[in-house]
Each structure stands twice: as C-alpha cells, then as structure tokens.
Amino acid sequence: MSRGDRQVALNELLTHCEATARRYRHAADSLAGKDGEAVLRRFAVERDSLTQRLRYQVRQLGGAPDAVDAECDAFQILDERLMARLAARGATAVLRSRIEDEQRIMALANAALAEELLPESVRHIIEVAREDVRRAIDLLAQESDRAALRN
C-alpha cells in the first residue's frame, strides 16, 4: 500500500466515522425521550473520539483529512427522519440504520487492516475500533429488538 493508498483508506474510514457520529446525534434528537436515545448519544461520542484519533493519524502520515460530503450526509439524515416519521416502528428503523453505518465502518476498517504497511499506531486504533463496532452492533440490535417489542 503506497502512502497515498494508506491515506485514501484512512480518509474513507475517517469521513464515514465523522458522518456516522453526526447521524447518531441527529437520530438521538429524533428519538428524544424514546427507546434508543441514550445508546445513540453514547455512540455519537464514541465515533467522535474515533474520528479525532483517525484525523491525528492521517496528519501524522503527512495527509490532510478529507471533509465529509455535507450535502450527501444531509440527504441521508432527511431520509432517515422521513422514514422514522412514516414508519410505525420509527425507533426500530432508526436503530437499524445505525447498524448499517457500523457495518460500513467495519468493512472500511477491515479493508484498511488488509494492507500490511500501516503503521502500528494506526493498526492498533483500527483494531480497537473493530471491537467497539462489534459491541455497538450488538447493543444497537438489542435496543432495536426492545423498541420493536414496545411498538
């Protein structure tokens, strides 16, 4: 993996984590006072933390972190809000959507780890993030199941 390829892989992971954190916050706002709000806020903080660690590593590798496509992110947030309002099981739909974000983080993390030339500091951050993602998926699935039972 060339230096440029490493930066591309890390930037993809970084921008998706940043967008995911923002979507977690918006999802939590849309579920204010309902099932799932607390877990969504917690994961927003965790993804913000991962974003900061990845941003630092990208800079250490001599790159400039990419910016999130704000327009695409805004459309996804609007789509999720509409889906949550139209769906009989709004909380369940929002929580399931966050699981999809976490699965994308896992795929991007796995792709980055498949390359052997990542610095050990970056590799460690990504390996820890994969464990966090596994845990997040499990908790989001449990919360989604709970919300579905209440509806």
pLDDT tens digit string along 81-113? 655 554 445 788 888 889 999 999 999 999 999
> What is the four-CA torsion angle of 124, 128, 129, 131, rounded to 10 degrees?
140
Instruction: Give the max Cα distance, the chain.
Output: 51
- Asked: is 3-150 a CATH 1.10.10.410 domain? The reply is no
Write the pLDDT tens digit of every residue in 52-86.
999 888 888 776 655 555 565 566 666 666 555 54
Q: 21 and 51 in contact (C-beta within 8 Å)?
A: yes
Domain ranges of the chain: 3-150
- Contact yes or no for 102/136 (Cβ under 8 A): yes
Contact 67, 15 (CB under 8 A): yes
The span from the CA of 50 to the CA of 44, in Å, is: 10
Q: DSSP readout, 40-73? A: HHHHHHHHHHHHHHHHHHHHHTT--PPPP-HHHH
CA distance 49 to 54: 9
Q: What is the pTM of this model?
A: 0.81
Tokens linked to 131 = 């464990």
